[in-house]
Amino acid sequence: MKAMIINNFSAILGAKLLKITKISKDTGISRTTLTGLYYKRSQHISFDVLDKLCKYLDCEVGDIFKYEERS
């Protein structure tokens, strides 16, 4: 079985009707970082960014990222 991390960042933004530009301005997180997360191009994320996103989006880490095993 193969394990993988599922990134739900773009789905959360869509559900909350949020734009990357607004999140960047409100949190200080760079647009480059947010765009990488949105388009699932990022290979890592800092705890500082994750903390800011969870506070801003009023969610848990598990809402943004899920661990899933695939066969």
Tally of domains within the chain: 1
Q: How far is CA 44 from the centre of its chain?
A: 11
> What pLDDT is attached to residue 70?
78
> What pLDDT is attached to residue 69?
86
Token representation of residue 19: 């734009």
**Looking at the chain, which runs of residues are DSSP E strands?**
2-7, 65-70
CATH number reported for the structural domain that contains residue 44 in this entry: 1.10.260.40
Low-confidence residues of the chain: pLDDT under 70: 1
Enter the pTM of the model.
0.90
Which residues span the domain enclosing 57?
2-70
Q: Are 45 and 37 in contact (CB under 8 A)?
A: yes
> What pLDDT is attached to residue 1?
64
